[in-house]
Structure 1
Amino acid sequence: MKHLYYLLLAIILLPCHAANAQLITTSPAIVQRSSNPIVITFHADQGNKGLMGLTSSTPVYAHTGIIRKGSTKWEYAPQWLDNSAKYKLSYVSANTWQLTIPGINEYYGITDAVEVEKLAFVFRNANGSKEGKTADGGDIFVNVVQDNEFELTLTSSAESEYITQARDITFTATTTSSADIDIYLNSMTSTPVASAKSTTALTKTIAINTPGTYNIIARATSGTKTATQTSTITYLGQSTQTDYPGGIPQMGAKANSDGSVTFCLAAPDKSNVLIVGSWNDYDIATSLPMHYQDYNGNRYFWATVSGLAADTDYPYYYLVDGQYKVGDPYANLVLDPWNDRYISPTVFPDMPPYPSDKVNDVPLAVYNSSINDYEWKIKNFKGVDQSALVIYELLIRDFNGSEGQSLGNGTIAGVMEKLDYLKELGVNAIELLPVMEFNGNNSWGYNPNFYFAPDKAYGTPDDYRKLVDAIHERGMAVILDVVFNQSDGLHPWYRMYDIDRNPFYNGTAPHSYSVLNDWNQDNQLVQQQFKDALIYWLTSYNVDGFRFDLVKGLGSNQSYNATYNQSTNTWSGVTEDKTNAYNASRVARMKELHDAMRTVKPDAYFINEDLAGAKEENEMAEDKETNWANINNASCQFAMGWQSGSNLNRFYAPLDDNRIWGSTVSYSESHDEERMAYKCAQWGNTGIKGNVAMTMRRLGSVAAMMLMSPGAHMIWQFQEFGADETTKNGDGSNNTSPKKVVWNYLNDPDRAGLKQSYSELCAIRNGNPQMFKEGVTTVMSCDESNWANGRTIKLSNGTDELYCIVNPNISGSKAIEVPFTKDAAQYHLLSASYGVEPSLSGKSVTLPAGAYAVYGTAGMTDIEDIIDDVTPQINVYGGIGEIIIEGDYRELDIFNISGQRIHGTSGLPATIYIVIVDGTSNKVVVR
């Protein structure tokens, strides 16, 4: 579950001249430095609509300050969440609130000669959980005119500068002092349509009856001073009913055989949509309306555009009902008017420029006929079995960049430089925190806006593909973290509707874990979007599977037993107990998504962050899905040296409330959990707190108990060398700000020793896959009761045995009794804590406090040991492109050095292979 997701870099200015359907209006219409009083009217149904639908009894407050001339910094503002009476707004009517400012100096406490240029506002509820801002999440500003300046403003009764039907529109020109005012239609060379002498306001209603563009111009003259303002109204043509070519609408941009492109947007309950593109210089007046088709209960708008050149970028957007400018939900690349300017050309060379001289307030989709063309080096990658995954969870932003600094400047190029490190570490999959186009450039990615476009902050679309190729070349899989429970406020389907009437989103969530904008999971178009997105990334980016964020939020609305208020599109009676209860609709929904993935990649990885009960997760497991298993608290307890709560048997799925074998991805750290090393430094037991060497040793023992447990596991980036920067805020929520890049930690011998332990443990798994598959006899003794006398894990498969032994104590060596079945001479040491030399005698292993050791029988292999032992009757060796087996055998398993199962003994790439013949492990080299 996520809390604070992103740092939005954009600042949006709200102009107060020539405006339509303003988020705030003022009285007087033009605010001067000496205006007294000033009434600010906040329209909660405009902008981001974060406070829309609040009742009259709900307190609404203004967080407000001033911007002085020549500055962008807020000044004279209170502390955030100051609920003093002076900041409280009065309820006027539905979605309309007012704040009275008696005078700028008096209200803000200004005592010096400050030249105030703007008043700044963010509106909020009492605890700040809901905010009223601009449509794009920016602060709200009101221009302040100096008392000696002459100013004219022109406002319109139209909700937008675009209308879709004939209507009368009222225009009002207002001045700061008495003036002669004229209002013209289209040209000041014509006769004014309205005039007044010696006045401060003039109003004129004009009938707009014919499609076209109308310029209403106000001119005011006061003595020698003259000012003009223009308001433009465009009466758009109408969309007409015509079926999509072929009869079945397909969302997004589809290339046709004749070279034309058909664009399609799903927009239920809308009547008019235009596609506005670079092909006609974004001229709305000459943009033809799209056709529409009603299909399966939904309305789709479509248009076919001809004459687009190959391999050329064409940005475009949709204008919906003359009121909403939106991008394409199915865009493969998105241009952001607020944040792209901060992306370095070295990160995204030749980025299509945002046409800010033509468009300035909408994310643009980019169509390019070759945007998904890429010549893959690795076309048919095959990863390890899902239950054998050892995943490295990676946030590109913080994985690389400026060493020792927290700038969040990591890139795909930086990840590429570290792939050999990850390969050597021994993981067999990399899971990327969300990379779908998110809000801002500095984010964890859990605030997506477009599900088919990679975020540009890390690199180009082909950079992502090169990364996938390079990961596959090293035998590792790629898993994407995806966010299907919520989106940010720039998603087209969020912007196209008032939230109380939005068919795609809930006004509030029916479950207890929502943070941003909650998807209506019952909408078939929402589900189609998700399925199409999964298929797109599996095919166009060749990824190997997905981790689904907050699956508890993916159930049907009614499944949470909350109460729906249709008038506000909100849910009440939401509780954690209801959310956490068994939910069959979540099981069904995840199976639907899995079925969609199977149509293009039947063996794609499927991981749920459900964190629910065993009944629900076992039903998901029956569909070959895996589920996150959070063992962080117990891992931290062990690492800190506290026996209570340190049960680590849960690393093994059958001991995690009887979950199905191999059905969990268990972990001791993740992006959502506190770092073990940080907790050791803060709350470690005697001899651990402040002792880096002992902390690293205990972290290594946690790693041993995790990685020696059969089943899939996950490592959070830098966990392997004891990263210790806190990941939490004071209230326990996630701190999503950039974290320090700490590769220099590997210069510390104890931290490097921990990393070596991870490498050795992964090598044991990769080199002995027969010991971690289903059917292996597994005895876990790693719960709280196994403290004073030590902890053990025993794996046995035929004559092969593997033992993990741990001394949990915080001081003193311990001789730990181990359930060996053979003489001591039959076991050899595969791995041990850094700087530790275990002693094996009889059936006991002596270890110092906090240390681990792993022993195996003669057939076991580690990263350094190439074993050529074979049975007397069978010879196994490598040839050129093949594995040769001489003799009769009953059972054969072949794995590459990364632990991937290989089918067949010929046509093999040159590398090292693990060949298991009748239970005996052999390493062979194929040339």
Structure 2
Amino acid sequence: MKKIGLLLLVWLMHFGLSAQMVYIDPATGGGEDEITLFFNAAQGNKELVGASSVYVHHGVVTDNANGTAWKYVKGNWGQDDGIGKMTKIGTDLWQLKLSPNVRSYFGVPAAEKIYRISCVIRSADGSKKATMAAGNYGWGTVTTNQDIYINLNANAWISIDAPASSQLIASAGEKINFKATTSSNVSTMKLLINEGNGWEEKVTVTSGRNISYDYTATTSKTVAARVEAVVQGQGLNAEKSFDVVVRNPDLIAALPAGVLPGININDTSSVTLVLEAPAKKYVYAVGDFSNWKYQEKYQMTKTPDGRYFWITLDGLQPGKDYVFQYWVDGNIKIGDPYAVQVADPWNDSSIGTVFPNLPSYNKTEYGIATVLNTKPATYTWGLGETLWQRPKADHLVIYELHVRDFLKSHSFLDLIDTLSYFKKLGIDAIELMPVNEFEGNDSWGYNPSYFFAVDKYYGRPNDLRALIEAAHEQGIAVIMDIVLNHAFGQNPMLQLYFDGSKPTADSPWFNREYVGQYQWGYDFNHESPYTKTFVDRVNRYWLEEFHFDGFRFDFTKGFTNYAPNGSVDGFDQRRINLLKRMGDKIKEYDKDAYIILEHWAPAAEESILAGYGYKMWRNRSYDVVPATTGAGGGSFSDMGVTSHVTYFDSHDERRLAEHVITEGLSKEGYNTKTDEIMYERVKMAAAFTFLFTGPKMIWQFDELGYDIDINLNGRLGRKPLPWGNGGLGYYENELRQHIFTVYKEVLKLRKTLGADKLAAASQSHKLTGNTRRLVYNTTGTDLVVLGNFGLSKESLSPSFTGMGWWYNYFTGDSLQVTNVSTPIELLAGEWRVYTSTKMSNGLNGVVENYQNPVTISPAIFTQDQEITLTFDAQKASKAGTTGLVGASKVYFHSGVVKDAATGVWSKVVGTLKDDGLGEMTSIGNDKWQIKLTPVVYYNLNASEDIQQLAMYFRDADNVNKGKGFRDKDIYWDVASNDPFITIDPPAFDIDEEITITFNAGQGNKELLNSNSIYLHSGVGLVDTPNPQSTAWNKVVGNWGQDDGVGKMTRVAGTNKYQIKIKPRTYYGLKEGDFPYWIAAVFRSPDGSKKGTGSPGPLTQGFIASNLDFFLKNQGTTSVQSENEDKWLVYPNPSTDKIYLTEPAESIRVYDISGKLVWSGAGQEIEVNKWSKATYILHANVKNKILSTVLVVK
């Protein structure tokens, strides 16, 4: 029994330990023991949950029991080299053995006591690390810089605990407390001090565990402390050396002439460092030049007004990189805010070859540092820069580019090699997503830390200069996307005035509390004169030093301290004034610089800013997406304005192509989700968008139909490249190259005709509906663009500007117009570009119009309905053969598709022989028919659900074929037999468990074959035929969160998803509430997609115009009056049994407090043992919920 109890105790100890993020075994192990270090990724910040590889960067602490100084470190940060690699032993559970013992593993000399293991647990590349809240735990400590310290058993020991740092700053006469602790009570203990003249005993104790002494600092010197003690009869001693630097309180002088905050290079061996730090007491320059110690000579001089600290460093080696920091008031360590190069001890090792010969810096305990160099690499701009003329802003075509996701090498220099690609495409400008120093390497860049440094992950500063100059040589401007609304936690100006959680109230640059409801990082105080000066200097630096052509300023709506009722959405004159001031300053030194604002403010405010010459970002995805997916709606109005940079997607939006392939609609055989049709529709969207005048923007790879989900690898995560080894193969895909060609030719046509001329032309556009039109009547060549965004054939008036010959730009065909308004019939997805003069001989195959050679009657059918399928050989593609026009016999070769996402055929009918199986009947004019009922023809089981019929056509010899659009197999949707939404039972009260079933195979099918679907819902407690304003009540669900709230369960083998709920508990209802309606939206886990259908009635409710579901409880309530009670329940009052006139499917009885006292079904209830009281009875009778008062005597 004792053995069992001991085993249980051990198991419980392990279970308790494994609930910690880190622990050791044995838990009482010391430096002479073999120890296993365990890591549970499911605890703490969980950043390494699911990691395939985990490393521990680790060392030991030997100075004292509470120390944090790392020694004998093992590990190479960011390197996947096996040093410190942990072994996976379970789900998110990892271990590392320190063998044969801790001392030998780390190579600690025998004379040193080992108190702790220090560690940081990281991903293989160092981009992520596991940590937990700072604090002291039973097993050790987590410090504020997120380092982890695990206590070891050091047996008998002495620990010199104070001072905590070996580098001390003091005023003359200041007391410095020396303190030591022992592992247990002493019989004697002495503290001795050595100031360079030998040991002097200062204090002695003969009991207890503690000893202390106040040392008076007089001059700068090295001071050693020694503690000698007898512990448990054992003589012990410990020593520690301290560098005491006595600061000079009289080091005050004005700034040298001509210097600015930052690094001022005087000559090749001298710099003057200036730190702006109002109200700080003292600052030391510390770095490679001071051996990373406080030194008296590196105390910085304070200006008389206390605003600046400065120091001139002489005797520096020309061309050498010196890593340094400012150490402020003894507890703040920051880099220079104006430095042009940052040293990152966590991430620089992952930079690779894009920035060679980085200086060595691995002091994670000090954090981010900066680099000075008295003779930095120079860059000589070519003569072409003086002749460079920027394209006009009013009709600029911009290409938004993220370096990390554009090239595998993430290199500025390699980007130079792709400039010919942009030149060929025909864009005017590249907009680089943020390239100034941001936190980490793997980022979009909207987490800025240093505003004057080029982020090293993309290359060296001169590499960026070379890229910009090379772009100018190709006629391409370069715009910098810059974030001046906020900064992130590594920013030195933020850290200089920070209380551990937010900026302090005296910060010159930052608001203590975020202004407004949109919050990223820490909010700049744009009304502060310090911030204004800083912003102006940042802007000028990038324009003058790198020759950027302008800026796209991120979230300028945040450039304000005005937020009535917590909102910055309203008109704000102060914000206008701030932005105008900034722009005026830019124009002082670069009058033609582009100023583009991501503003999102009221139209009146944007109009004023546009009047200053600024351009606003304008997202029109909400107009272009529904048109392109075939959903209809959206307007193309105002897409030609010159005040806004118009686009249909950017880094912030889902891709247009991805929208189409995931939520595009279909009609009969025309399915916009198929690649080939999607390609044509995104071409049409591009033609309309870019043949509007005004500035426009392309998000990278839209010109190739990039269709990767924005949330792949996380919203900000890496996305697969379209080209190169391991890429998506887009560049080698002929059909995707046709998209590129359309973009190229549309932009070429825009330039050839002249955007200014088009803007000045008389216009007759049609901007809404399935069919749309652009018409420009210019002084030169006129332009007409026609498009059918619908899902079936439609006609529209072309409104040609004159009669005569018109020329189709993409086909090369000509059209003689005798009536400018004669309707032109366009197939589904067909679009045309006509010019009044011939400008192209056509581009073979670049644009094709979908024609379905198949019709099925009825067009919408289920798998158990008989259909008539007709094949028109004249409309079919030939698939590399001579086709089936004139064929004497045609076969229908087909199968079914159970999962439309894969397109995999099954249950194939056809042998590719002339055996009659699938043979069709000729009905003349190269048309052929076959009748079939899918469930019979394909021999389907009763439980098999199919989503599509798949087919192509062949002749008797299987030599010639007929296929669909662009030689692809033909697919036709099969309607589901099952209803869209069901609630079972259809009538229910608040305590009835109901099952809501959603059929993803109905409607838009956007959630078809989803791994996970969520119900976002509310309950309507008002009996009304119009529940839209009342049913979104007591909402359950957290939009966009994959947190299990409202998660549905997939019914195995189907596309149905279910959730079981009891309205009372699920929605938090009370007695007397009745759930008349349930409002519902069915969504993907991230909320980017939702399953819905066309507005209109359903069996159990309706789909509203906003595409929300409203599901009606089929039961009604009836509270009987006293005279009507016998109609439902009798006798009432009762002492024995009560009876219902009709049997009920369910019965519930509640007391007056709402507590359920009885439930069941049937026609009678025994109440003879019930308490005498009044009750409420609810009965479900023939799908009606009937209620009455019941009295028991």
TM-score normalised according to structure 1 size: 0.71
Q: 1:560 aligns with which of 552, 560, 563?
A: 563
Return closer, same or farther for 1:851/1:217 CA change in 2, 3 Å cut-off.
Answer: farther
Distance 1:148 1:262, change over 3 A: closer
* Aligned equivalents of 1:772, 1:111: Cα separation in 2: 67
The equivalences for 1:567-578 within 5 A come to: 573-574=565-566, 578=567
User: Are the aligned partners of 2:757 and 2:778 in contact in 1 as well (CA < 8 Å)?
Assistant: no
State the distance in 1 between where 2:466 and 2:455 align.
15
The amino acid that maps onto 1:276 is V
Partner Cα distance (1:484, 1:168) in 2: 44
Q: Residue 226 of structure 1: CA displacement?
A: 5.6
Are residues 78 and 353 of structure 1, via their aligned partners in 2, closer, same or farther at CA, if it must alter by over 3 Å?
A: closer
Give the corresponding residue for 1:853. 832
- CA deviation map 1:113-145 (0-9, x unaligned): 9999579852399xxxxxx9966xx53423221
1:263 is matched with 273
Aligned to 1:521: 526
Aligned to 1:550: 555
The aligned residue for residue 738 of structure 2 is 753
Q: In 2, distance between residues paired with 1:798 and 1:113?
A: 78
Contact 2:263–2:372 (CA under 8 A) maintained in structure 1: no
From 320, 341, 350, give the equivalent of 2:357: 350
For residues 509 and 656 of structure 2, what CA distance do their matches in structure 1 show? 40
**Counterpart residue number, 1:379:** 385
Structure 1 residues 837, 163: closer, same or farther in 2, change over 3 A?
A: farther
The whole-number CA distance in structure 1 between the counterparts of 2:463 and 2:156 is: 53
Equivalent of 2:334 in 317, 326, 331: 326
- Aligned residues of 1:621 and 1:663 also touching (Cα < 8 A): yes
Larger Rg: 2
TM-superposed deviation, 1:351: 1.9
Q: Which residue of 2 aligns with 1:810?
A: 791
RMSD: 3.7
For 2:425, the equivalent position in structure 1 comes to: 425
Query: Aligned pair 1:651/2:639, yes or no?
Result: yes
Q: Which residue of 2 aligns with 1:768?
A: 753
Q: Partner residue of 2:479?
A: 479
Structure 2, unmatched stretches of 5+, are 1-9, 14-18, 25-34, 48-91, 99-115, 120-129, 136-140, 724-728, 845-1193
Match of 1:317 in 2: 325
* More displaced stretch, 453-462 vs 186-195: 186-195
Query: Secondary structure in 1 aligned to 2:212?
Result: strand
Residues 351-387 of structure 1: CA deviation (Å, up to 9, x unaligned): 2332759x84341232333345433353132121101
Report the CA distance between 1:284 and its aligned residue.
2.2
1:319 CA displacement: 1.9
Aligned to 1:45: none
Of 596, 603, 623, which residue of structure 2 is paired with 1:614? Answer: 603
Could you tell me which residue of structure 1 aligns to residue 1115 of structure 2?
Answer: none
Is structure 2 residue 675 aligned with structure 1 residue 692? yes
- The residue number in structure 2 matching 1:593 is 582
- Structure 2 CA distance for partners of 1:774 and 1:112, relative to 1, 3 Å: closer
Distance apart, 1:210 and its partner CA: 3.5
Secondary structure of the equivalent of 2:280? coil
Aligned ranges 1:879-894 → 2 under 5 Å: none
Counterpart-to-counterpart distance in 2, 1:213 and 1:470 = 56
Return the alpha-carbon distance in structure 1 between the equivalents of residues 95 and 254 of structure 2. 66
Question: Is 1:201 matched with 2:167?
Answer: no
Deviates more, 1:434-443 or 1:265-274: 265-274
Residue 306 (str. 1) matches residue 284 (str. 2): no
- Aligned partner letter, 1:363: A
In 1, Cα distance between the equivalents of 2:449 and 2:94? 44
Alignment of 1:121-132 (within 5 A): 122-123=132-133
Distance 1:382 1:634 in 2: 34
CA gap 1:237/1:78 in 2 versus in 1, 3 angstroms: closer
Give the structure 1 partner of residue 261 of structure 2: 251
Instruction: Say yes or no: does 1:703 pair with 2:686.
Output: yes
1:879-902: CA deviation from partner (whole Å, max 9, x where unpaired): xxxxxxxxxxxxxxxxxxxxxxxx
1:742 aligned counterpart, secondary structure:
coil
Q: Is the 8 A contact 1:782 1:791 kept in 2?
A: yes
Query: What pairs up with 1:348-497 in 2 under 5 angstroms?
Result: 348-354=355-361, 356=363, 360-371=366-377, 373-376=379-382, 378-380=384-386, 381-401=388-408, 410-497=410-497
The alpha-carbon deviation at position 209 of structure 1 amounts to: 4.0
Change (3 A) 1:112 1:647: closer
Check 1:651–1:111 CA distance in 2 against 1; reply closer, same or farther (3 A cut): closer
Task: Report how far residue 419 of structure 1 moved.
Answer: 1.4
CA distance in 1, matches of 2:456, 2:587: 29
Q: 1:197 to 1:124 in 2, by over 3 A?
A: closer
Cα-to-partner distance string for 1:692-732 (whole Å, 9 max, x where unaligned) = 111111111111121011100111111111212222489xx
Amino acid in the other structure paired with 2:788: N
Deviations 1:257-307 (A, max 9, x none): 797432222111112222234445444214332223356xx7122222333
Mapped to 2, the partners of 1:458 and 1:342 lie a distance apart of 12
Q: Counterparts of 2:781 and 2:263 in 1: how far apart (Å)? A: 57
Q: Kindly state the Cα deviation for residue 750 of structure 1 after the two structures are TM-superposed.
A: 2.6
Matched letter for residue 496 of structure 2: M
Structure-2 separation of matches of 1:197 and 1:819? 106
1:146: which partner in 2?
Answer: 153
Matches within 5 A, 1:575-586: 578-586=567-575
Over 3 Å counting, the alpha-carbon distance change for 1:215 and 1:462 in structure 2 is: farther
Tell me, yes or no, if structure 1 residue 77 matches structure 2 residue 43.
yes
Amino acid at match of 1:601: D
SS of 2:782 mapped into structure 1: strand
Corresponding residue SS for 1:695: helix
Distance 1:545 1:209, change over 3 A: same
In the TM superposition, what whole-angstrom CA distance separates every residue of 1:549-598 from its partner, at most 9, and x where no partner exists?
0101112x2x223xxxxxxxxxxx52xxx311011122122222222222
Cα distance in 2 between the residues matched to 1:67 and 1:236: 43
Alignment deviations for residues 146-182 of structure 1 (CA, whole Å, 9 cap, x no partner):
3758573513388984345653233332343456654
C-alpha distance in structure 1 between counterparts of 2:38 and 2:784, whole Å? 63
Matched-pair contact (CA < 8 Å) for 2:757–2:779: no
Partner SS, residue 743 of structure 2: helix
Alpha carbons of 1:239 and 1:73: their partners in 2 closer, same or farther (altered >3 Å)?
A: farther
Indicate if the aligned counterparts of 1:152 and 1:220 stay in contact, CA closer than 8 A. no
- TM-score w.r.t. the length of structure 2 is 0.56
Q: Does 1:675 align with 2:655?
A: yes
The AA in structure 2 aligned to 1:750 is: L
> For the residues of structure 2 that align with 1:187 and 1:772, how far apart are their CA atoms?
85
Unaligned residue ranges in structure 1 (runs of 5+): 1-32, 37-62, 82-108, 126-131, 402-408, 562-572, 654-661, 866-927
Output the amino acid matched with 1:581: G
CA change 1:318–1:72 in 2 (3 A) is farther
Give secondary structure in 2 for the equivalent of 1:287: helix
The corresponding residue for 1:236 is: 247
Aligned to 1:828: 807
The separation in 1 between residues aligned to 2:478 and 2:320, in whole angstroms, is 29
Shift of 1:647: 1.6
> Which amino acid in the other structure matches residue 811 of structure 1?
S
Partner SS, residue 551 of structure 2: strand
Residues in 2 aligned to 1:862 and 1:302: alpha-carbon distance in whole angstroms: 69
Paired position in structure 2 for 1:86: none
Maintained 8 Å contact 1:551/1:608: yes
Larger relative contact order, structure 1 or 2 (CA cutoff 8 Å, min sep 6): 1
Q: Per the alignment, do residues 424 and 505 of structure 1 end up closer, same or farther by CA in structure 2, a change over 3 Å counting?
A: same
* The 10-residue stretch of structure 1 (298-307 or 215-224) with the greater mean CA deviation from structure 2: 215-224
Is 1:777 the counterpart of 2:762? The answer is yes
Matched AA of 2:214: T
- The change in CA–CA distance for 1:791 and 1:174 in structure 2 (over 3 A counts) is same
Kept after mapping to 1: 8 A contact 2:301/2:310: yes
